[in-house]
Each structure stands twice: as C-alpha cells, then as structure tokens.
Amino acid sequence: MRLSEARVVLTGASGGLGSALARQLAEAGASLLLTGRDAGRLATVALPAGCEVRRVAADLTSEEGIAALAQAARDFGADVLINNAGTGGFGLFENQAPKTVAHILATDLAAPLRLTHALLPVLRDRPAAAVVNIGSAFGSIPFAGFAAYSAAKAGLRAFSQALRRELADSPVRVIHVAPRAIDTALDPPAARALNAALSNACDRPEVVAAHVVDALRRGVAERHIGFPERLFARLNGLAPELVDRGLRGKLGVIKQHATAQHTESP
C-alpha cells in the first residue's frame, strides 16, 4: 500500500504504541483520523507539520463510541483501519473481578470486531484497503497470569485469519501483527517486575510501530515480532504440551508477581 495516499483510522492513538504509530504514519505521508478515550491526551499526540489529522474522542466499548467513530471514518474517506486500542490484563484469573475480565474482552476483542464490522462497507468501496489488528505474542503463546488477555488476543488472531479468508476476493487486506512486551509507561509495576525477573525482552514502541508500518506497506498477512517468540508461537501450535512443561518452571515467579499486581489494583 502507498502510505503517502493512505487515509488511516488509528485507535488507541494516545498510548505509547499509538502515538509512535501516528508519528511514523504521518512521516510516511498518510492522513490520519486519531481516536482515543481521553480528548486531552489525544490532543497532545505530536505530529509533523503539514500532516492532515483529525481527532475523535470515543469509548469503543460503547455503541455510541463505535457509531461516532464509524461516521467520522466515513466522512474522512478512510481506507485503512488500525485496531490498536487495548488494555492489559496481568493477574491470576481467579483473583480478577468479573468486571475486569469483561473489560479486557470488551476492549481487546469485541471493540475491534464491532468497529471492523461498522467500517467494512466503507473499506470495500476503496480500490485498496486494509484492516490491521494489533495482537500479542500471548495470542499464540497463552501465558499464565494473562488468561483473559491471552483469550482476547487469541480471538483477535483467529478473527484476523477468518476475515482474511472471507475477504480474499475483495480489495481489503487483513493484517495481524503480534508484538511481544512493549516498554511503555502504562505497564503496571508488577508486570514490569515480572518481565525483569524472567528476562523477557521488551521492545520500544518505536520499534514495534516500524514493524506495523512495514507490514502495512508490504501487505504482509501476519507478523510475529521478536525471537524466540516467533519460534515459541510455532512450537505452541505444533506441540503445546512442550510449552506447558517449559512454562511450569516459571509458574512460581509468575504467581509471585501476579499476586503483587492484585494487591496494587484498586
């Protein structure tokens, strides 16, 4: 896709990855419709001079938010949707309140599906269009301490694959990008401590954004970011019991930090 001609709807634009994506897309010449829940934070996303940008504050877990953004995207003439908005979910599943689990599923899975559904008629009318879903390595390597989050991201990956096959005869490409941990200020202290304790690699938002922009430019169907995560994703698909055994030895450390996360949560 020629990014200099793209008209991109980017959700979660005020977050660490979202703001990095907005900058890199703008530098490539794309026009942007940025959305996030907080109008104040959305206004602080810095972009290069001359970039065409519109900003819409919307809660995508609500019907009103989906409808408002869909109308704005139609008026904008969007041909790319990047479903980037999401929320974390670190903590032992048995300790998470039902409303917490519901919020994770609503934000990380239901909202991208509903927004994509609302915008498909718009995207189908373009000569070339794309839906980019930002998943997670945990969607392919479900991880202890992230049960609900892993479920949501696994669902998003399955949705991406099914929709890609469903739209194979259309101008709409469906791209799924699965980052590993991203180093942002929004990560809770317990999750950052877990990554340090397990020596999990964390990528800077700018690095992940560059992968997303490259996948969009090339029209790559799927991309897992980072090694050995790519290998473990394939291994988990072929022999999940091997990954079960490999992670069992880390369970004590995961539970220690997941319990701390439960203590930190309001």
- The 3-state secondary structure of the chain reads CCHHHCEEEECCCCCHHHHHHHHHHHHCCCEEEEEECCHHHHHCCCCCCCCCEEEEECCCCCHHHHHHHHHHHHHHCCCEEEECCCCCCCCCHHHCCHHHHHHHHHHHHHHHHHHHHHHHHHHHCCCCEEEEEECCHHHCCCCCCCHHHHHHHHHHHHHHHHHHHHCCCCCEEEEEEECCEECCCCCCHHHHHHHHHCCCCEECHHHHHHHHHHHHHHCCCEEECCCCHHHHHHHHHHCHHHHHHHHHCCHHHHHHHHHHHHHHCC
Catalytic residue among 149, 155, 192, 229: 149
Residue 251: other Cβ atoms inside 10 A? 12
| Identity of the amino acid at 37 | R
CB of 212 closer than 8 Å to CB of 219: no
Catalytic site includes residue 149? yes
Contact yes or no for 109/60 (Cβ under 8 A): no
For the chain, how big is the Rg over CA atoms in Å?
A: 18
* Catalytic residue list: 149
